[in-house]
Amino acid sequence: MQIFNTINELQKVLAGWRESQQTIGFVATMGGLHLGHLSLIKLAKNQADRVLVSIFVNPTQFAADEDFESYPRTLAADLEQLKKLGVDGIFTPTIEQIYPQGKGFERNQFGEKKYLFEILCGKTRPHFFFGVLQVVKRLFEIIKPDVAIFGQKDYQQLQIIKQFSSNIEIISAEILREKNGLAMSTRNQYLSPDERKIAGKLYEILSQLADGKLQITSAKVALKQHFSLDYLEILDANSLEKISPKTSKIAILSAVFLGKTRLIDNIITEQKFENLGEKNV
C-alpha cells in the first residue's frame, strides 16, 4: 500500500499502472471510514486492477456554520483499515494541492441540469453540491480513473456526479445499514446511544411508505414524531423530476434532523407509479 501526499508522486505511479495496461478504480472519501466506505472499496477491487482511495475533507461543501473544523478526522485508523483491505494507493492531498487557484467555482455552467443542485438537500444546503462536484471534478482531473464508486445513500450527489462525469464509469454501491436500519454514515458518530436507537425509525418509515403501508402525508406525520423533518419526496429515480405514468423507477428520499445531526436516506424501487397512489404525487 502506497500513501501519496503530492500530485506529482501520485501521477508517476498512476502512469506506471497505465503503462502496464492496468485499470484504475477510485473511491473518494473524507475519511472517518466505516463499513459503508469499505463496501465501496471492495466493489472497486472487483471492478479494476488497481484501487486508489482519497482522504480529503473538502472545505467547499461546508457552509460557514457547518462542521468542517469538527468533522471526524481519523487518518491513522483509516489507513489501518485500508491496509487490511489491500488498497493499492491512498491519496491524502492538502487544500492547496486540490485548489491551487483558490476555492471559487463557476456555478452558471450547468444549463438545464442546474435544478439538480437546487432541489432536496440543495434547498437547505445551496452550497453543498457545487462544492461536491468541484472536488470530484478536480480529483478526476488528477487521477483519471477508469471507474469510480459512489454510495447510493447520497443519491442526489450520485445523480449529479453521473450527469457531469461522462468520461468515467460511475458505479453505485448499495446502502450499508446498521442492525436497526440506520444508513451508515461518518456523521453517525455524532449521535448519542439513545439517538442511535431512534435513528432507525427513518428507514422503518420510508420502508412502510415504499410498501404502501403509509401514504406520503402520513409518513411525514410519522417522521415528525421522531425527527425534525427537512424533506420527504417521491421522485423519478432516473431524473429526480416529478414522477409520471412513464416513470419506471422511483426514489423515495428524505432528510431529517435528530438533535443537531442531519440524517439522509432513500429507497429506490421499481414499483409502478399507479401502485403508490395519487396521494404520493
* Cα–Cα distance measured from residue 199 to residue 189, given in angstroms and rounded to the nearest whole number: 12
Q: Describe the strand order of the beta sheet including 147-151 as a list of residue ranges.
A: 2-4, 89-91, 50-55, 24-29, 147-151, 169-173
**pLDDT surpassing 70 at residue 199:** yes
**pLDDT surpassing 90 at residue 150:** yes
pLDDT at 281: 43
| Cell 437546487, residue located | 118
Split at pLDDT 50, 70, 90, the class of 107 is low
Same fold, 2-173 and 186-269: no
In the chain, what percentage of residues exceed pLDDT 90? 85
**pLDDT surpassing 50 at residue 277:** no
CA distance between the termini of the chain? 50
| Cell 444508513, residue located | 183
pLDDT tens by residue, 112-130: 678 999 999 999 999 999 9
**pLDDT surpassing 50 at residue 279:** no
pLDDT tens by residue, 205-263: 999 999 999 999 999 999 999 999 999 999 999 999 999 888 999 999 999 999 999 99
For the chain, give the mean pLDDT: 92
* Cα–Cα distance measured from residue 159 to residue 236, given in angstroms and rounded to the nearest whole number: 12
**pLDDT surpassing 70 at residue 35:** yes
* Options 34, 37, 127, 226, the catalytic residue: 37
Give, in degrees to the nearest 5, the angle at Cα 57 between 262 and 124: 35
> Would you list the domain boundaries of the chain?
2-173, 186-269
Active site residue 37: yes
pLDDT at 102: 74
CATH 3.40.50.620 fits 2-173, yes or no: yes
Higher pLDDT, 89 or 111: 89
**pLDDT surpassing 70 at residue 190:** yes
Split at pLDDT 50, 70, 90, the class of 204 is very high
pLDDT tens by residue, 155-164: 999 999 999 8
Instruction: Identify the burial level of 17 via C-beta atoms within 10 angstroms of its C-beta, where 0-12 means exposed, 13-18 middle and 19 or more buried.
Output: middle
> Helices 216-224 and 201-210, interaxial angle, to 10°?
170
CATH 3.30.70.860 fits 186-269, yes or no: no
pLDDT at 267: 98
| Size of the chain, expressed as the number of residues it contains | 281
With the C-alpha atoms ordered 37, 43, 46, 50, is the resulting torsion angle positive or negative?
A: negative
Q: How many helices and strands (H and E) does the chain possess? A: 11, 9
pTM above 0.85?
yes
* Cα–Cα distance measured from residue 152 to residue 85, given in angstroms and rounded to the nearest whole number: 21
